[in-house]
Amino acid sequence: MQLNKLTVLIVDDMAPIRKITYEQLRRFGIGQVIQAENGAQALNVLKKRNVDLILSDWNMPVMTGIEFLKQVRQSETWRHIPFIMITAEAERDRVSEAIGQGVTDLIIKPFTTALLQARLQQAAKGDVRNRQSLVNEDEPELEEVQLADPEPETPAPISTTKQNTILVVDDTPENLTLLGGLLRDDYRVLLTKTGKKALEICCSETPPDLVLLDVMMPEMDGYEVLEKLRQHPNSQHIPVIFVTALTEIGDQTKGLEGGAIDYITKPIQPELLKLRVRNHLRSVDLQKHLQSDLDNLIEKEKLKNSVDQLLRHDLKGPIAGIVALAEQIKTDRHTTASITESSVMIDELSMQLLNMINLSTELYKIEQGRFELKAKPFSVHSMLKKMLTVVRKTFSSKQLLMYLEPEEEDPGNEVLALGDESLSYSLFFNLLKNACEAAPSRSRVSVSIEVIQQQVLITTENVGAVPEAIRENFWEKYVTSGKETGTGLGTYSVSLLSDAQNGEVSMRTSDKDNTTTITVALPLSN
């Protein structure tokens, strides 16, 4: 889509940031730019206007960016809109949450105009490609910055090939000479005597990594410079260390409240200055890697979604065809008994394969809160009867007595549950498999079906009590006992698959009778 035909919605609670971002987007050639100061206001905009792309901050009052994202992705009307989140929050859990909710892209503050433009173009195309190379392409090389108002005694720009760039702002040439000389061997150092020039440098496309800022300067003091730095997206998060002769607690408090990260008093102690600069720049370097880390996370999520698409559509379709063919063979009057038996096994093995696909794809979506239930009526009795056939053969070596109550069902009184038949197959298969694995050889496993009020209750009971050590956390992930190859996902998946279908699951164990009983309650189809 051409940029001049795009309508972009900016969502940010800071008016100066919205204004600057608006101007940036218009320079990019964006056709229409709409502004909102929080997620709730943005939702009202979406109800009234057609929007092609959303650019949202994370931390906002009333409704945060992540809450806004959830609302957008839950709407059939808006869920397709590319959504770019701009954030200074980079904790992996929060990033994973945004990815799980369907964010199109994540941009870490601070960022350059070139990076923002490139990401907008990619999102508009629907192509969020591998960003490792994109980051390198979009970040221009640092350029030399000449001193503002140069004088004969003012030192020349100091430049090294080091990675980090430090801007020193002081109206006294001697202080510039001192600070520049202390840092030039380890960093690229830029020098200026005025707050105006400092703002120009910091708000440019090549901002410094750290600013050493004097407080007492003519025309614009350090506090005012810091305030203006915090109002521009390019400089909003640049670390600032005040370097000043002011020693009063009130002066230091004012600087730190304004967003400075440290306060160094004159006369300067060289070694202490170097240590503080080095320690703060370590955080800067970590921040620099965050964007590429986030990009890799998004790429992995896209890859996982592609695999998920393959499993759900490309594999499930043929398997469903195999199941349908097996059903046809079983009902063909001319089919021999052995072929009918084989078709039953084909049917059940296909369902087991569907179970494996469900566990590898649907569980993840359920865990992330992204699963959408499309409930339909299905026969629990019919499903369990077929399942017991294959489970008996699977565990034939244990010589278990397995039976279903009631064994037969009146066709006119068929009990139908309301849920996802494929997920329910996975649920009950894992339930029966667990019961058979836990039951001692030559013991019993029973399954019963009954209707109470508006629920279908499916109960399994097996000989063998759940060990006391795992009863408290029986339904938790990776909890297992006494199985050499156990993964601890069986009971966990039963619980998750029940919840996903608006059902309930419970377990009771009897040491006296040495039995374990598990009941799954699913909604009854009316």
Tens of pLDDT, residue by residue over 394-415, are 788 899 999 998 877 766 677 8
CB distance 160 to 189 below 8 Å: yes
Q: CA 349, CA 341: separation in Å to the nearest integer?
A: 12
On whether the CB atoms of residues 215 and 223 are closer than 8 A, the answer is yes
For 218-235, the pLDDT digits (tens) are 889 889 999 898 888 878
Write down the pLDDT at residue 138: 38
Domains and CATH numbers, the chain: 3-138 (3.40.50.2300), 165-268 (3.40.50.2300), 373-526 (3.30.565.10)
Residue 354 has pLDDT above 80, yes or no: no
Which pLDDT tens digit goes with each residue over 419-447? Answer: 998 889 888 988 998 899 899 999 999 99
Cα separation, 184 vs 181, in Å, equals 6
Phi/psi region, residue 369 (left: phi>0; alpha: psi -120 to 50; beta: rest), is left
| pLDDT higher than threshold 80 for residue 65 | yes
- The structure's pTM equals 0.45
- What tokens appear for 520 in the block? 């799954």
Q: Are 42 and 11 in contact (CB under 8 A)?
A: yes
DSSP-derived letter for residue 3 is G
Lowest-pLDDT range, 90-94, 221-225, 395-399, 479-483? 479-483
Q: 490 in helix, strand or coil?
A: helix
What is the per-residue pLDDT for 44?
93
CA angle 458, 464, 469 (to 5 degrees): 100
Rounded to 5°, the CA angle 117-118-122 comes to: 120
d(CA 202, CA 167): 9
Mean pLDDT of the chain: 80
**Each residue of 125-166: pLDDT tens digit?**
765 433 333 333 333 333 333 344 434 334 444 444 457 899
**To the nearest whole percent, how much of the chain has pLDDT over 70?**
79
Query: What separation, in Å, do the N-terminal and C-terminal C-alpha atoms of the chain show?
Result: 48
